[in-house]
A and B are shown apart, each in its own frame.
Chain A
Amino acid sequence: MRKRGAGLGLAGPPALVLGLTLAYPLALILGTARRGAGVLASGAFLAALLHTVAIALAATAGAMSLALVFALVLAFAPFPGGRACARVAETTIALPSFLIALALTFAYGSAGVVNGALAALFGPGGPRVDFLYSAWGVILAEITIYMPFVLRPLLATFDAIDRAQIEIAAGLGAGAGVILRRVILPAAVPALLAGGSLCLLLTLNEFGVVLFIGAKGVITLPVLVYDKAIQEFDYPAACAIASVNIGLALALFATYRLLLGRLAHDAVH
């Protein structure tokens, strides 16, 4: 058979474009970072790093849990319109992330529906519900936005589980809890890990949600990079912070690809 790899030259132009407009600029960022490395000892950077990691972990855990619950219901308690619900959730992926952040301010913001209702019930007063302008608001928005990234692989996994296997287990007297622990959850682990690590990557890099919610004191690495470069014109500091952010993201990306490769390998063998 003819070697199809002979066309490798076709990949030259895209590799060249990526090299000149992505790899070269990233190398310049790394080079410039040395001059701004002092910022990495500042409280603002450490706080942003802590916020970024904590928010990403919490949002990912939340998205994984919610996706697991949703997928269990959709796969094992199917009802008319269930799959349409999954598709509605998936349209969130096609829409900008800040849409959800904006919507949450209408629901839970200081002038939102919930506070309006509480003021109508208990008389005027400061906003009674104000979790939105904290890390919790960002986490809630990110769970909503990134849940579909876990839901999709989970549903595919659950749909592939042989229903007879469950019926036999139930016939042998296994309760729902046992079936869940012994049959369903072990099967869900690869999809949960793959979807979860993608979630972690996307939440680490999230920008729009944090900017739109505008919580005082909740600054993440991408927002700090923007502030340093665009508000303060301090490019060396922005480059130093960006280097840390890029390093984190690429390390996580490599882990994710490794995991995907392992999963595909397991699926074949």
Chain B
Amino acid sequence: MLFTERERHLVVAVFLGLFALIYGVPYALILAASLARAWNGVLPSGLTGAHFAALAGGADAASLSASLATAAMASLGALLLGLLAALGTRGLPRRGQAACDLLFFAPSAVPTVSIGLGLLVAFSRKPVLLNGTIGIVILAHLLIVFAYAYGGVRTGLARLPDGIEAMAESLGAGPWARFRRVTLPLLAPHLRGAAGLAVAMSMGELAATAMVYPPGWATLPLRIFALSDRGAVLDAAALTVVLASATFCVLGLLRK
């Protein structure tokens, strides 16, 4: 093979060192900071749960529910639209499919700050006045996660067993029964995966939210930035741990 036994050990040792430095240390430091009483030297001086206790009430708790609600509504909307888009463009000839892909994946390429800016420019006046409402935040998140929902459903549809729907049809199942009894159950794991990705992206979204959020609907990332900006970095670390835990909880629930 590529390496002799001695080289292999050396290579693996170097890899593990580099990996721990790049991916282990950041997570460990965030966790340590969230539990630190104070941190001015090499090591934190003493442990405390005070940063987490301080999050229990007020703006931080509100930002957690704002984030969860936004992520749930935006992901659900994106998944529904993504499902329609993927079902509708399915079975098109190769070129048609490629053109639709270009169209439906394009939102993921637009800089998220510009998505926010566009919504502000378009919907700050009548007849559709969304600026200043929670709706504009949810719409921004929906647009940002849409391409990922579409991609997930599309991959799932492409992997359905060949001819299984035609078989259901030949057994007399109508289009709706075929979709509900055959397509949807087979698609479920991919839908859950797409939903997980959408929720994770929405929970961490900062740029577009910073552009459009109304007072009283600051999401977790905005709150974390506000804390870190004013120098409360240990509180920011604790809230980041909350954000990561909430994201993993939702991902775990969706995986079941």
Contact = CB atoms under 8 A, between A and B. Distances in A.
B11 interface: yes
Contacts of B22: 66, 144, 147
A242 B114 contact: yes
Contacts of B228: 102, 212
Q: By DSSP majority rule, is chain A's interface helix, strand, loop, or mixed?
A: helix
A245 B122 contact: no
Contact of B122 (A24, A93, A252): A24
30 contacts: A10-B85, A11-B84, A14-B150, A15-B85, A21-B122, A21-B139, A29-B121, A76-B1, A76-B3, A85-B19, A95-B243, A96-B221, A102-B30, A106-B237, A107-B26, A107-B29, A117-B42, A119-B41, A163-B1, A170-B2, A204-B111, A207-B111, A207-B207, A207-B210, A222-B111, A230-B211, A242-B111, A246-B114, A254-B102, A257-B105
Contacts of B101: 257
Nearest to B128: A20
A195 B243 CA distance: 27
Given A77-B2, A113-B29, A7 B88 contact: yes
A73 B12 contact: yes
Interface residues of B, number: 90
Interface string A212-244: 101000000111011001100001001100100
A186 interface: no
Interface string B70-112: 0000000000011011011111110010101111111111111
Given A21-B139, A102-B228, A94 B85 contact: no
A174 B30 CA distance: 46
User: What are the 9 A-B residue pairs with the smallest beta carbon separation, nearest first?
Assistant: A4-B91, A96-B204, A25-B118, A11-B88, A103-B26, A10-B88, A253-B109, A207-B207, A25-B122
Interface of A: 1-5, 7-15, 17-18, 21-22, 24-26, 28-29, 32, 66, 69-70, 73-74, 76-77, 79, 82, 85, 88-89, 92-100, 102-107, 111, 113, 116-117, 119-120, 144, 147, 163, 166-167, 170, 176, 179-180, 184, 201, 204-205, 207-208, 211-212, 214, 221-223, 225-226, 229-230, 235, 238-239, 242, 245-246, 249-250, 252-254, 257, 261
